[in-house]
Structure 1
């Protein structure tokens, strides 16, 4: 990765981290040691292993299979490159995220939802193989080979800023809903980009409060995809709790199982990360709660 990009990204992350600390919202994290290890190791794995590996492989394959195409699209205007990246990276990530909420891929994404707090620290909390298999990263690697390098650096900085903001404990969109004169701006912003209100709803502990929507609001940079493909829910409110109900009932998975499944498997009762396991239905959790299994 470009050193300048790394400096900019670290600056953005530190800025959000300082906002969470100075606002006092970090006191609500209730993170365990396993939470911290999973978040730290996954962040390092993404920036030091997964993304560099994918870009190196796509670059090498490009050189072998289409050497004459290196930089072939570099003449395109920046807005055309941006449009292609929004489709090739952000829209495909929407579909990858949506597919990851199906039984087949849920074990690779489940770790992102096991945090019972919202913070920038959970932004890249996922299974190790989740990013290695993400189509958008592979497409981005090909586009960089074709000449999108400089525009991609700007694009990814903007995207990271939006994604970090959507996960941040500091709900930057609250003033947009509080002041009536800002409501027209809020209407545009919340239908264009991922915001804390829409993305926190995706992480909600339950849908029963009328706010939670963990079967939708899949967008990363753009919320437009949810609007376009019928998975959007906008309430301008925030769920009281986030996380997974089955973790509260059966106990949390170990960090290394969440990170390295299927190489490592869970021994927990009712686990999607166990041999032959499956996602635990909400009705099962409710039934065990009623029987007093805690």
Structure 2
């Protein structure tokens, strides 16, 4: 299925703008070095950054077991508050748990182990090559590179119809919660940029900054998927509204990201064809793909969702659904992220048979 010409032009234009955004932090870093006569690659590093040992331990633990524990605790609060209602069926429950566990216990450790074995073979002289980069500049460069890449990865899975089925699992649930942050098809997860980027940066000597980006991003994306509207006070309390105005344009919040998971755009709140930002909502502001309403959709998911088997949603196209007509079934239709339009052919009345003229 071909892309609409105007959409293809917009993607090309936004792609060129993205190149400038990728380079901007690096250019700014070297400009600051020039202004202040700072040459860290020559060992002239007057502003070294080293966090206290207990801070390092906190972030390392958050990256390994701490963050999953926090997510589980907050998830328990969601359930205790009845925020999932009665929508967490057995099929949905298995899918959410598998999507949460498999990437963390199998895919990411596997990729990390073999990635750090592979890089020394192909880049033997590159180990710690960029450890001279000051921490805060490394943090900014990595945050932009990582999240902007994910923005595009996410956006293209919505705007290129044949890619949609690899991302569909993330949108199929008719509820919102922390579990949604990791609810993805295994192919989508395997090609996800963050794991590979973090491994490469660790090898190049930027692992500490990459770790901070990973932890902070996990907090933001998990909170944006949560059914707990933590951003609501920023819209309702007058003295917090200026902070809220900046916050909702800078990072993803429940209001902006819930809109992305809505099952319709008819209510003026849902916007599943935009609001693609993961950590930074700023990309949607820059590229004009965002909508801010400060409201939360009344319903979520996909209108034509057939609650396909958990294994089909997690491992399509390796395993396919048995649901007839499903996008995930054998030779299923490619409909993209929009609700398919049903075309009903007129049926002739039996009392008035039609005739076909033959030339």
Same fold, TM-score > 0.5, yes or no: yes
Equivalent position to 2:182, from 112, 124, 138: 124
Residue by residue over 1:3-22, the C-alpha shift from the partner in whole angstroms, topping out at 9 and shown as x without a partner, is 56223213421342244245
Q: Is residue 135 of structure 1 aligned with residue 190 of structure 2?
A: no
Q: Is residue 196 of structure 1 aligned with residue 251 of structure 2?
A: no
Tell me: CA distance 1:217–1:27, structure 2 relative to 1, closer, same or farther (3 Å): closer
Tell me: CA distance 1:283–1:14, structure 2 relative to 1, closer, same or farther (3 Å): closer
Tell me: CA distance 1:272–1:155, structure 2 relative to 1, closer, same or farther (3 Å): same
Q: Is residue 44 of structure 1 aligned with residue 113 of structure 2?
A: no
Q: Is residue 261 of structure 1 aligned with residue 319 of structure 2?
A: no
Q: Distance in 2 between matches of 1:82 and 1:15?
A: 28
Equivalent position to 2:269, from 208, 211, 227: 211
Tell me: CA distance 1:67–1:283, structure 2 relative to 1, closer, same or farther (3 Å): closer
Tell me: CA distance 1:149–1:157, structure 2 relative to 1, closer, same or farther (3 Å): same
SS at match of 1:99: helix
Aligned-residue offset at 1:270: 2.8
Tell me: CA distance 1:170–1:25, structure 2 relative to 1, closer, same or farther (3 Å): farther
Q: Does the aligned pair in 1 maintain the 2:165–2:327 contact within 8 Å? A: yes
Equivalent position to 1:16, from 68, 74, 79: 74
Aligned-residue offset at 1:242: 0.3
Corresponding residue of 2:335: 279
Q: Distance in 1 between matches of 2:171 and 2:72?
A: 23
Corresponding residue of 1:5: 63
Q: Does the aligned pair in 2 maintain the 1:8–1:157 contact within 8 Å? A: no
Q: Distance in 1 between matches of 2:89 and 2:82?
A: 16
Corresponding residue of 1:63: 120
Q: Is residue 240 of structure 1 aligned with residue 295 of structure 2?
A: no
- Number of residue pairs matched by the alignment: 283
Aligned-residue offset at 1:136: 3.2
Structure 2, gaps ≥5 residues long: 1-58, 345-359
Q: Distance in 1 between matches of 2:166 and 2:242?
A: 38
Q: Which has the higher contact order (CA 8 A, sep 6+)?
A: 1
Higher alpha-carbon Rg: 2
Aligned-residue offset at 1:90: 1.1
Q: Distance in 1 between matches of 2:137 and 2:124?
A: 23
Instruction: Give the TM-score, by structure 2 length.
Output: 0.74
Greater fraction helix: 1
Q: Distance in 1 between matches of 2:155 and 2:84?
A: 31
Residue by residue over 1:109-156, the C-alpha shift from the partner in whole angstroms, topping out at 9 and shown as x without a partner, is 101111111000121001011111113332222112111222222221
SS at match of 2:110: helix
Aligned-residue offset at 1:161: 0.8
Equivalent position to 2:287, from 206, 229, 232: 229
Structure 1, gaps ≥5 residues long: 289-294
Aligned-residue offset at 1:235: 0.4
Corresponding residue of 1:149: 207
Aligned-residue offset at 1:214: 0.4
Q: Distance in 2 between matches of 1:156 and 1:82?
A: 10
Give every structure 1 segment of 4 or more consecutive aligned residues whose post-TM-superposition deviation is greater than 3 Å: 1-4
SS at match of 1:58: helix
Q: Distance in 2 between matches of 1:61 and 1:189?
A: 40
Instruction: Give the TM-score, by structure 1 length.
Output: 0.90
